[in-house]
Every structure is written in C-alpha cells, then in structure tokens.
Structure 1
Amino acid sequence: MKTSTDTPHRWQFERAGGMDQVVFRSGADILRLDELDQTLWAALACPTRGLALDDRTLDLLDTDGDGRIRPPEVLAATQWMRERLKDADRLLLGTDRLPLDALRDDTAAGRALRDEARRTLELAGRPSAPEVGLDDVLERLRNVHRQRANGDGVVPASAADDEDLAQLIRDIQRTHGSTTDRSGEPGVDLSRVEAFFRDAEAWVAWRAQRPGPQAQVLGPHTEEAAATLARIRPKIEDYFTRCRLAAYDPAAVGAMNPTPEQYRALAAARLTPQAAALAELPLAVAAPGRPLPLVREAVNPAWADALDALRTQVVEPLLGGSRERLTEAEWHELDRRLAPWRRWLEGKPGAPLDVLGTARIDDVLRRPELRERLVQLIEDDRAAAPQHDRLVDLEKTLRLQRDLLRLLHNFVSFRDFYSRRGAIFEAGTLYLDARRCDLAVDVSDPARHATLAGLAKAYLAYCECRRGAHKRTIAVAFTAGDADFLLVGRNGVFYDNDGLDWDATITKVIENPLSVRQAFLAPYKKFLRLVEEQVAKRAAAGEKRVQERLSAAATGVATLDQGAKPGAPPAALKRRVDVGTVAALGVALGSISTVLVALVTRFIELGWWIPVGVLGLILAISGPSMLIAWLKLRQRSLAPILDASGWAINGRLRLNVPMGRVVSRTARLPRGARRRAPALDAPPAAWARAWAVGALALAGLGVAAAAMWLP
C-alpha cells in the first residue's frame, strides 16, 4: 500500500549496530512508513508475548491472530491512525489521553470515533470533558462485558430467562464444551448449539435402530454384554491371528510375541496396569492352536479386567459353566451371536451424549421452543456487536497513540536498544559476579535457543529464575569483565521489568571472549592454573609417600621385638645410592643450567633492545589469543539471540566493545568514594613498609641491569 505523493519523503538515518536505522522525527515519518524500503527495517517479525509492551496492544495489532507481528500489520496500524487523527505528531507524545477535537471530522472512521468518545464521557458523568482517556474506555468495556448482551455471540447459563433454558445451556457445555464469554463466564455460541441438536437428532435415529427382542440373547443384559465384547474384540482378533500365523510357520512364533528388548524397555519405566506401552502388547503369549486364557495370571495385566468382564458377562452366560480359556471356534460363535448388537454399537454417533441419557435427549427434542429461545438469545447478544466494536476501535486508537512509536523504535529501528532506553525484548536485569547485565531475554526452550544463539559470538549464560512456585528461564549476555567465575551453579538475583526479584542460577554457558584484555591475560591464567594443578598433584603424591613411610616406620617400631624378617636385605644395601643415577642427574642439571645461561646471555646481549624483546615475547604468548578475541568481538551480534527467541532480524545488529560495556557493567565505586583498610587487613604502616621494600628491590634490580647493559 503505497502513498501517492508528488515528492519522495526525505528520511533521516543514524548508524547503529553496523546498519542504517531510520529516525522518526515527526508524525509524517510514521504515516509514510509504507514508502520506506523494508530492507532498511531492523526487524521483519516478532512474537506478541514475552515483550515489555502491553499485550493487549500487541493483540490488537495482530489482526490475523497468529501470535506474530509482521510489516503488513505495522503498516495497517499507521494507516489506521492516518484515517482517525488530524495531527499525526500526537503519535510522538506517547500519551493515552485524546482530545475530541484531535479526531478527524472528514472521515467516517474519525466521526464514528468522536461519537463513541462522547458517549463514553456521558456514561462516565463528564459530558463536557474535552478529552477521553484509555481508563475511561476500559471502564466502559468492563461494564459492557458484564451486561447480558455484550456482542460476542456467547451466552452463559446466567443469561437465561428461566431454569429450563439455563439447564439446556449447561447440557450443551457438558457434551460439546464451552466458550468463554467476555464477562469471563463459560457459555455457548451458535455453532455449539447447532452441533448439539444435530448430534441429538442423530442419537435418537441411532437408538431407533436398536436390535429387537429376538436378538436379546442375554435378555436385558444383552446390550451391556455386547458393549463389553466390542471393547476387547480388536485385541482378541489380534491374538487369534497371531496364533494362526504361528501355526502357518513355526519360525514366526518368536516374532509374534514380545521381544526381550521390549521387556527391557518396559522394565526401565514405572509400570502400572494402565500403562499405554503395556496395553500395546498382545493379550497373551501366542502359540499354534493355543486357546485364549481367561485367568488373570496368564494374560496381559493391562487387559485383565476387560477379560474378567468378558468371561462373567459373555462367555459363561452364553457357553455355560465355569470357563478358564476360550478357543477360537468358541470366540467366533460368541461374536456371531452378538453380531447384530456389535454392528449397532459400531454405528453409534461420536458425540458423548451418553452422559445425558436417552430420556433427557428425548425431552429436549420434544421442546423445540427451547432451541428457538436459545438461538434468539444468541442473536440478541450478537446484535450488540457493532457498538462493542466501535468501543474497541476507540481503545485501539488510544493504545496505538501511546505505544506505536515505541513499537517502531523496537521493530523498524532499534533506537530504544542502542540509546539504552529499554528495548521491549529485554526481560530485566541480572546481578551476578559483581556485574549488572541488562541484555536478558526470556527463553522457553534453552537447548533449542542455544543452537542458534551460539552464532552471536557473545558469552551467554542461561539462568533458571525462581520466585516462589513460579519459574522462568532467561538468556543473559555477559559483555564486560572476565569469565573466570561464570560457572554453572553460580547464583544471582534477577529483576524483571515489573521490579520483582527472582533467584537466578546459571544452568548453561556458551563461552566466547568478553574482551581483548581478558584474551591477553588468558594464556598466563591458564599457565598458572596448570602450574597449580601440577603442584597440587606433586604435593598429593609427596603426602602419600610420606604417609607410606610413616606407616612403614610405625610398623617397624611395633615389630622390633620380632627381629628382622628372613630374607630381608641389609640396611646398608637399602641406603645404597646408584652412582650411575647420580651421574645422570648431574648431566641433566648441567644441560638445563647451560641452556638457561645461554638464554639469559642472549637476552642481556640485546642491550637497549631488551624492552622490544620483552614485548615480542609477550606478543608471542598473548598475540594469538588476542587476535582470535578481536575477530570474534567484531562478529558479536544481537541478531542470533533474538532470532532464537522468535524474531526475524533484518541485519547484523552488532554488539561492539563500547556497547558491550554499557549492556554489562562491572562493579565500580561511586564518584568521590574512598577506600580504607578494613580491620582484618594489614595496618597502613605495614602497607607502607611493604611498598618501600618493594620499591627498593625494584630500584636495585634496575641498577644491576643498567650496570650489565652499559659498556
């Protein structure tokens, strides 16, 4: 839908996130949004839930009701406001108060809205008020919804004129479900009423085809017996078919019965007789010519009750005597004798009208005036729809006047995010590890979200948040500080957009560099950790050896009275040291010292180039890590994080280093604050002596180095 103009609109853009983003300077920018190429939009779709924007506003924008907002719906909203407002600059105010003289009087939509606004003010007792507010409209809507006829075409039982009509409504709800009325009560609409009477007529026609007395082989209990047989008939047919196939080819016997793998799968679950997996197994073990057991111990536990009912209600009454098994021939005889009833039951309508009973259904159909009155009640309710729709139009206009610009700043452009005014996709703020992280989004499926969000090249932490019995999961981007203590299990506090505090625990992390500074220190930290691990291992091994020696010594002291053990080597031999080992150690130490002396000598020979050599050594160690971090930080993007949350982002939306320092902030002392040593730290005098000793040591090293460098 393009606007016909003589001259093209002059847009203004600003560069943010690596893309050009439009600036909305006036209402004309908003109304002519259909002229802006959608390749320049920041997003092309977003969900209607999980956003810091009024859900009702998003629902009114979502005209197709699919739970997503797309460009055509945004453009339709701008067209909506064009047809109703005289001055589009009101959209820049973000207010939910609307003067009546701000509505257009040259369009039918504007005039209808003004009339509805006047009517709303009159009902509120302020007929001469110059403006209407969203609170006035919402109060009137609440009153309308409480009325008997509120325009939604749904009638609850409380709206009925008498008890007979109310009972009919409850019967329809019981068999065909209900629809929530605008008042919040369950009710019925025209489609449910028509379905109920259609199914009731089919039920009566089906009951009229009930087999006659000649087919009542069990007297008044025949119908119940036939229903019992019909429930289990497919499983019995399955069992005897398996037995016939096993007789046809003995090699098929194993395949006709459950495999060990199936039993192992069942064993791994918590079993009950009602387990679905158990009910899928055959009624009993199939074998050539084997009758069907009717005793509980020999049949599938899931079908034991059904077989008991079959035995007592069908098999024994029809075949006589006490029965513990049923042959295939006997089964076919039973099925033949109850076939008329089985076929009749198979034609039963699908609607669950059994709960009402035949007498109630017949009574309803004998009183057609009840149906007519109910249909008329629904039609009267629907007649109020135009008035309700005009009131909703007024609500939509007020909500769009308040929220449309904010939506555009988070959809067409991402100005709210890059100017740090609080983007609608930000769920709140996480405080953890001496950091404040503002870039947090709600996540419904962390595993699925992480698959795409990992492409953001950002350090992400998934946190489970708990507040009483409520739980939610968020994904938080850490873009400042270091990652040394961002571990699974760390706890923090999350504040949502309503200011409520939640306990937050890290459950998953996606590791990426946080800064070049962190990458510079990473090799040294890793080296120190390796040294610590090796020292700890050596210390543990040394402690073990000492413990073993102490244990041996204690044993020796305890057994002094028993003398030396036969065959034990003399003590002198135990203390003897291998000369070859000593020589090898000496050669090794000499080689190491020679290499170290050579390295130090070469280093000293650099003279005044020693700082360059030190810098080169540092770059050789930290350079690769810093380069990788720099490349990843250049690729860090917001788009994959939002795409994983259901958005359709139309650009890169980079998270550069300065932006990263804003969305994640490390702890800093307030301006003007001073530090002082706490009681448990060393006193100031001790700190002064330590600094003095350190300074003297560095000065001595400097003098010695200068003496060695100078000729």
Structure 2
Amino acid sequence: MTQALAHRWRFFRAGGFDQVQLETPADLAALRGLDQKLWASLACPVNNLELDRRMLDYIDLNKDGRIRAPEILDVVDWTLARLRDPAVLFENGPLQLASLTDDAVGARLRLAAQRLLAVLGRADGDSLVPADTANLAQLFPPHEPNGDGLVPATLTDDAELKAAIADIIASLGAQTDRSGEAAIGAEQIGEFFAQARQLHAWHARAAEQGLDAFGEGTVAAVEALSAVRAKIDDYFTRVAMAEFDPRAAALMNAQEAELVRLSSLSLADAGEVAGLPLAAVQHGDELPLDKGLNPAWQGAIGEFRQRVVVPVYGELERLSREQWQHLVALCGNYLAWQAETPKVAIVEVLKRGRILELVEQDAEARLLALVEKDKTVAEAADGLVELDKLIRLRHGLITLLRNFVSLQSFYARQDKAVFQAGTLYIDGKSCDLAVEVDNIEAHAKVAAASDCFLLYCACTRRGEPVRGKEAMNIVVAVTAGSEGDLQAGRHGLFYDRDGNDWDAKVVKVVQSAISIREAFWSPYRRISKLVSDQVQKLAASRDADMVSKTAAKVGETGAPGAATPAPAFDIAKFAGIFAAIGLAVGALGTALAAVVTGILSLAWWQVPLLLLGVLLAISGPAMLLAWFKLRRRSLGPILDGNGWAVNAKARISIPFGTALTQMAELPKGSDRALRDPYADKPLVWPWILLLVALAAGYYAWSQGVFSPEPPAAPAEVATPAQQ
C-alpha cells in the first residue's frame, strides 16, 4: 500500500470513466497496489482474443480457460523479475539476451537461450523472437525426453510399450506432449492399470475355482446344461424314489396306458413324447448319454454331452449322480463369478485378453520408468519453457494490459482491441466493432443490454480454413448511419485481422437506435409505410372485389336461357354520390383554406417557426428517445456475453460511434455526374394540385371570403310624421 501511495498514477478519461495509463516499468511495478475497482476488466476468456494463444495459456495457471486479475498480477511480477531493463516491454523488437537479469534465474534463461540459438543454427546470435520457439518439435524432439512427465510412443523403441501407449490413449484419451505429440502421463497409466488389475484378479479367481474348465465355450456350456437341467434332475429323482420303495419302480417309468395312447398317434412331432421320463429308471444311478434316452431329448442331451461332459470327463457313455452334481456346481459357480464382473471402462475399448496381456507383461512398471526418465531433464527443459514464456510476454504483455486493466487500445483507435475480430462491410457501411462469439442466442440475451444495434452474422470460408476453422459467428455493432435494409438474410463480407475474407450472412438482429438523424426521419418513414400499406390493401381488396363481381356477371350471362336485363339508370343514386363527393371536397377545401388563412395571417418570420414547431412535434419524441438510448450505449454487455468481467461503464458515445462505423464516401477529387438517366420520373400532378389549392385559398382570402361580415344595421322605421 505504501508503494501504491508513493507512485503517481496517470489517468485518461474515455468511455465515461477514468482509465489508468500504463506507460512505464514503474506503472507495472506498482500495478498490484492499484485498487481493482479502477480496473476496466477483472477477467476475460482465453478464446476469441487476437493474442498469442500460447502466451495466454502460460498466464492461465489453473487451466480453466479464463484469465483473472490475480493471474495478471502474478505474470507481471514474474516478467519484471526476469528483465534487467523492463522498459523493453514498451518497445518493439526481439528479446535481447542482454536484457535478462544477472541472477541465477537470468543465468539459467541465458543458458537455455544459447542452447536454443545453437539448435537454430545461430550460435553467435544474441536475440530471440516468438517465431524461434513456434515449432515445439524443434525445441523438444518427440524421440527425446523433455521433462514434462508425459510419454509419447516415439519416446521408446520397445514395440510392446508403443502398443501399450496406443491402447491407453485409445481407452482414456491423450495429453499433448511438449513436442506436440499425443502422450500419456503417470496419472493415466495408474488409472488404466488400476482397472486392468481388477479385471486380472477377477479372471484369476476363475482359474482358482476351476471355472475355466470349459475354456472359450463356457457360455455355451452353461446354456447347454441349463437346457437339460430340469429333465436330468427329474430322472435322478425318479431313480431315488425307486430306491426308496421298490414298488415305485414301475410307476416311475412311463405308464402303459400313456404308451398305448401314443402308439395311435403320429410321433413325427416330438412334443407328445417330451413329457415322458428322460430314461427308464432301471438304468439306476447312471444316466445313459447315448442310447436308451427319450427321443425328444436326444439332441439336447447330445449338445450337453459335447459342451459340458466331454471337456471335464472325456467321452463318457453314462453320467453318474455325483458327476452330474459336480457339473451343476461348476456352472453355478461360473454364473456367480460372471455376476461379479468388474465394471471397468477400458473393457468398452479393448478386449479382455489384451488387457490381461498388458498386466502380465508388467507394462505399468515399464511405462512409469519411462515417465521418470523423461522427468530427469525437467530442469533443463523447464528453462526452455520459461524462455519461450518470456519471449511471448515480451511481445504481448503490454497489449494485454492495455485491453484488460484499461481499454486504451479500444478508445485510442490506433490499433484494434484484442477482442475486435475484424471489419464487416455491409449495406454501404464498414463496422469495426466485430466480436467473435460461440453461441449466438446465449450472447444475444446478455448483449441486448448494451443498447446497441447488433447484427449477428454466420461467417463461412469453404475450402479455405483459417486457423483450422471454415465457419465462425460474429456480433457486429452498427453505431452510425441508418438502419436501411439491415435485416436477417442480408449478406456482407467480413475481413478478419489477418485480411482473410469471409462470406457473412445476417442471422439475427437486435434492434436499437443507431443515430439521431435516423430517429428524425423514422416517424415519417413509419407514416409513409402505414399509408403505403393501407393503399395497397385497399387497392388489392378493390381489385379482388371487381374480379369476383365480373366473374359472377359472366357466370350469370353464360347461363342457358338466362337474359340479364340492363340495369336502369338511377339518377337519385348518382346524385347522392356526387353530393357526397362534393361535401368531401368542400370540407377538404375549407380545412385547407383555414390552414392557409392561419399561415397567411402570421408575420413572415413566424412561418419558419411554425414549420419548425410542427417538425419538432412529429420528430421530437423519437429524437429524444434515441438521444437517451445512444447515451446509454455500452461495450460492457457485448464483452460480458463472451465471458468477460467488464468492471466499468465503457460507453460508446455518439462521436465515438461514428468512428467505429464508417459510411460510404466518394474519394476526394472524384468527378460526379448528378444526372441519373434511369431515375424515377417525379410526380408533377400532386404539386400542381397543391399549388392550385393554395392559389385558390389565397384568392378567397384576399376577397374576404373567409373574413367574418359585420352584422347589418337595423332598418329605420318611418314615423307617421316622416311619412
């Protein structure tokens, strides 16, 4: 706080608020002490900014996609601590090695710079620019350790480990190594093999319990056993009943009466036979698996024998009760084991056999050893990363501060602000306040509070992507001129900051005032449109009425045997029509004459005042409303809709708005022919009628037609004496 009080700040006023000027290293050093209520912004996104994206990622320490005021302060302190002369931040040019500090940090950076210059083939060089570190693969070759703790497949020559890295990336996704390659880290390795070990332990339990006796056909074996289980259990129960009471032996077999009934039927369908016992009980405690079986179950027992009995006991002809119970137990344990299958995500991508193979290869320990090998060069590699960070901050930090702490770049109009994406040309205008947006509808809900006339445009560049994109959305503020034909569906041309042209189509319009001149004419345009619409509706209705009546008359005339008598002339009807027309014309003439009389009764200098008063009465409310709205125009909601935390009013005044939106103007010294051979011919007769009416009114006024006559004097009555 003492440092903040000791520092003498300089402010400039723009956009309706005081903004701090950042012009010297002392301003940067004292920035932490500047009250953040005086900052123009408190946070901004890293997307949709015309700044070095890698520099923004360096500043975004928590990788949440946003840069906040504390992160700005930290990066300012970090930069100042590594420059012997921070004044170079306010100058253009490369980063000179001589600008680095002389302490241990500066020495490490200088050593990293010398290594980099040697790699670039400029061992005798003494300066670096951002382009020197643009290719990360050159700084950090993918086949060499780079200290970030990430392992790409190119870091090893072991085919098994290459395949393991590919499998882990396929299962859990990839991180980006400093070399730019897809890679994995210790966290991913641990997560993958934690799941793999669960699956391996589950399979190991199956081997311990002998559940793998059926091999790959285990599922089919269980299904085959389940299909005959009830029938085989029924057989051994019948045998047990016969052993319990010899008298039941005959009853446990098929009844003679049932066999007699079946003998009279066609046994091609085994359904009638299926209900009989599986085999005769005289076979005793062993079930025949080939001969002596119920024909309806011959196929099912054969399947059971091949899939269940043979894998465990070999080619048996008869199955004992104990063997049967053992097989049932094996399948029961298998079903219980199957129900305990671990729910691991990697099974959705890799086969179980491949996962078990990776565990048995001890791939986890070998991959973690690669990670540790990569980290052994962390100190040297981090020096290159710090150097890259410093080079980029050297060129972009002041620009960021002049668009974050203040909005100096925006209001100075010397360079575009970092949030300005380019310029839109449309309807004879060029609009500089264009901001790239991700979601049009979400942005419009917030930006509507800016009181600006906004155009949302979908921009496309088919077959010629820029920064990997062929389409983007922008919002453009129209801050001068008139609305004209700006509406959804209009097309324009958008030039981005690099000069690339994009096809732009207006998809949404947020209406608001554009200028006071537009507001002056708006009532007359609305009245003109209203009259035009009403006249067109009247003409259309009259046309439709005439067509329908004509069609009806033609139909009546064309009817067979019909004769349409000519209508008689009704003089009384037409006299009434003429009288009504005369009354209307007379009323209009009287009203016009009264207006003319009133105007002519005024002094000559009062006539312009009268006309001015009429214009103000009509246009004044619209102009006043537009003036209030134009004074409320603000940049804040436009940026807030993009994720900014604008901390100030950031007004867009009327004069500043005329600078943001330029109108079409002819070049100076151009020749201009004013005659348009294809211009619409002016209508003369309305003016002639108006002049005739004015002349008639003036003549009537001069003859005293509209002057009140003095009352007539009463006639004198002759007295008898006078008579």
By the TM > 0.5 criterion, same fold? yes
- Provide the residue aligned with 1:203 in structure 2: 199
TM-score (norm 2): 0.73
Q: In the alignment, does 2:445 pair up with 1:455?
A: no
Q: In the alignment, does 2:441 pair up with 1:442?
A: no
- Provide the residue aligned with 2:275 in structure 1: none
The residue correspondences of 1:687-706 to structure 2 (distance < 5 A) are none
Q: CA deviation at 1:618?
A: 0.9
Distance change (3 Å), C-alpha of 1:646 and 1:196: closer
Counterpart contact for 2:457–2:505, Cα < 8 Å: yes
- Provide the residue aligned with 2:155 in structure 1: 159
Q: CA deviation at 1:563?
A: 5.6
Q: Deviations over 1:640-677 (max 9, x none)?
A: 11111111101111111111111111101111112015
CA distance in 2, matches of 1:534, 1:198: 78
Q: Deviations over 1:80-115 (max 9, x none)?
A: 1221111121111143x122221111x332222122
Query: How many residues are matched?
Result: 595
Q: 1:388 aligns with which of 381, 390, 405?
A: 381
What letter is aligned with 2:506?
I
- Provide the residue aligned with 2:397 in structure 1: 404
CA distance in 2, matches of 1:227, 1:25: 82
Q: CA deviation at 1:55?
A: 0.7
- Provide the residue aligned with 1:144 in structure 2: 140
Unaligned runs of 5+ in 1: 229-315, 321-334
The residue correspondences of 1:418-567 to structure 2 (distance < 5 A) are 418-420=411-413, 421-468=415-462, 470-548=470-548, 550-551=550-551, 562=561, 564-565=563-564
- Identical-pair percentage: 39
- Provide the residue aligned with 2:83 in structure 1: 85
- Provide the residue aligned with 1:261 in structure 2: none
CA distance in 1, matches of 2:353, 2:200: 10
What letter is aligned with 1:564?
A
What letter is aligned with 1:404?
L
CA distance in 1, matches of 2:329, 2:536: 83
CA distance in 1, matches of 2:80, 2:340: 59
CA distance in 1, matches of 2:699, 2:573: 46
CA distance in 1, matches of 2:154, 2:561: 102
- Provide the residue aligned with 1:332 in structure 2: none
TM-score (norm 1): 0.75
Q: 2:97 aligns with which of 74, 96, 100?
A: 100
Counterpart contact for 2:596–2:698, Cα < 8 Å: no
Q: CA deviation at 1:493?
A: 0.6
What letter is aligned with 1:654?
R
CA distance in 2, matches of 1:663, 1:156: 49
Q: Secondary structure at the match of 2:481?
A: coil
Q: CA deviation at 1:512?
A: 0.7
What letter is aligned with 1:471?
A
What letter is aligned with 1:181?
D
Q: Secondary structure at the match of 2:111?
A: helix
The residue correspondences of 1:305-320 to structure 2 (distance < 5 A) are none
CA distance in 2, matches of 1:66, 1:185: 22
- Provide the residue aligned with 1:280 in structure 2: none
The residue correspondences of 1:161-176 to structure 2 (distance < 5 A) are 161-176=157-172
What letter is aligned with 1:19?
F
Out of 617-626 and 187-196, give the one that drifted further. Answer: 187-196
Q: In the alignment, does 2:648 pair up with 1:637?
A: no
- Provide the residue aligned with 1:13 in structure 2: 11
- Provide the residue aligned with 1:30 in structure 2: 28
Q: CA deviation at 1:174?
A: 4.5
Q: CA deviation at 1:552?
A: 5.6
Out of 500-509 and 150-159, give the one that drifted further. Answer: 150-159
Counterpart contact for 1:82–1:88, Cα < 8 Å: yes
Q: Secondary structure at the match of 1:343?
A: helix
Q: CA deviation at 1:342?
A: 4.3
Q: CA deviation at 1:210?
A: 2.9
Q: Secondary structure at the match of 1:440?
A: strand
- Provide the residue aligned with 1:603 in structure 2: 599
Unaligned runs of 5+ in 2: 225-298, 304-327, 464-469, 705-723
Out of 341-350 and 580-589, give the one that drifted further. Answer: 580-589
Distance change (3 Å), C-alpha of 1:339 and 1:94: farther
CA distance in 1, matches of 2:352, 2:136: 45
Q: CA deviation at 1:502?
A: 1.0
Q: In the alignment, does 2:668 pair up with 1:671?
A: yes
Counterpart contact for 2:142–2:155, Cα < 8 Å: no
Out of 348-357 and 186-195, give the one that drifted further. Answer: 348-357
Out of 543-552 and 438-447, give the one that drifted further. Answer: 543-552
Q: In the alignment, does 2:108 pair up with 1:112?
A: yes
CA distance in 1, matches of 2:125, 2:367: 41
CA distance in 2, matches of 1:554, 1:356: 83
What letter is aligned with 1:136?
D
Out of 667-676 and 603-612, give the one that drifted further. Answer: 603-612
Q: Secondary structure at the match of 1:460?
A: strand
What letter is aligned with 1:62?
D
Q: 1:416 aligns with which of 409, 420, 445?
A: 409
Q: CA deviation at 1:221?
A: 4.9
Distance change (3 Å), C-alpha of 1:226 and 1:443: farther
Q: Deviations over 1:228-275 (max 9, x none)?
A: 9xxxxxxxxxxxxxxxxxxxxxxxxxxxxxxxxxxxxxxxxxxxxxxx
Q: Deviations over 1:448-470 (max 9, x none)?
A: 11111111111011111111162
Q: Secondary structure at the match of 1:145?
A: coil
The residue correspondences of 1:237-252 to structure 2 (distance < 5 A) are none
Q: Compute the RMSD of aligned alpha carbons.
A: 4.0
CA distance in 2, matches of 1:225, 1:449: 61
